[in-house]
Amino acid sequence: MDSMVCAGLAREAGHRVIALTVDYNQRHRCELEAAARVVAAIGAEEHLIAPLDLRSFGGSALTSDTAVPKDGAGAAGAAGIPVTYVPARNTIFLSLALGLAEARGAKHIYVGVNALDYSGYPDCRPAFVEAFEAMANLATRAGVEGDPFRFETPLLHMTKADISREAHRLGLDAGMSWTCYDPTADGLHCGECDACRLRAKGFVEADLPDPTRYAVEPRW
């Protein structure tokens, strides 16, 4: 949903949108189908799906058979980084986005990171994105030639409730999007992982209907 709202805000800002989805052999492959639905709704110019098997790298519950926690510890704001953290995932994603942007001549790179309700992932923090932008403008032709990239993080300081409201305001059906880290075999949101709990809580706090089909009613 964060990526969907982020893309919607990029379009609203007047940009032509090139969408990048990474097929990293994530256990929640449903998000790839959701990405295609969002791209169609947004009217993106191009949708590049980049296969990159992070399962061979290991080190995360999202790319292995390690159980996704269902006890709400992450959602409750417990200390530490959750086992669903994928080593350097957002660094890898932003690097791919940088390469694609440079190849296409795009200058604005939108990323839906969120420093609130972010579950403790280090690569969602403002300082990370700022450092990435500085690095990117040393790494590339564009940076050297004086026409730098800008990394846009319109969701950075939004709550999940804010994001739900933005989806509604932009006319984007949140039911198109996928959040759950551990989908059921019949394609439902589990309702128990941190991602599901944060999603559900956002709709309630925004006083908006939640179009999501959960296997278990989320609590938080």
Is 196 labeled as ligand-binding? yes
How many chain residues touch a second copy (CB under 8 A)?
45
Q: Which stretch binds a second copy (CB under 8 A): 4-12, 26-34, 35-43, 79-87?
A: 79-87
Smallest gap, in angstroms, from Cβ of residue 176 to a second copy? 25
**Contact residue for a second copy among 65, 138, 171, 185 (CB under 8 A):** 138
The closest alpha carbon to 39, from 64, 73, 68, 10, belongs to 10
The answer to whether the beta carbons of residues 181 and 68 sit under 8 Å apart is yes
Give 90 or 212: the residue with its C-beta nearer to a second copy.
90
- When asked if residue 25 is in the footprint of a second copy (CB under 8 A), the reply is no
Contacts of 36 (CB under 8 A, 6+ apart): 47
Q: Is 65 exposed, middle or buried (0-12, 13-18, 19+ CB in 10 A)?
A: exposed
Q: Which part of the chain contacts a second copy (CB under 8 A), choosing from 4-12, 138-146, 152-160, 166-174?
A: 138-146
Strands 150-152 and 108-110: parallel
Give the x/- contact pattern for a second copy in 29-58, rule: CB under 8 A.
-------------------x-xxxxx-xxx
Is 124 marked as binding a ligand? no
Instruction: 78-84: list long-range contacts, CB under 8 Å, 24+ apart.
Output: 78/120, 79/120, 80/120, 81/120, 81/121, 81/122, 82/119, 82/120, 82/121, 82/194, 84/60, 84/119, 84/181, 84/193, 84/194, 84/195
Shortest Å distance, C-beta 50 to a second copy: 7
Give yes or no for residue 146 binding a second copy (CB under 8 A): no
Q: Is there binding between residue 92 and a second copy (CB under 8 A)? A: yes
Residue set of the binding site: 180, 190, 193, 196
Residue set of the binding site for Zn(2+): 180, 190, 193, 196
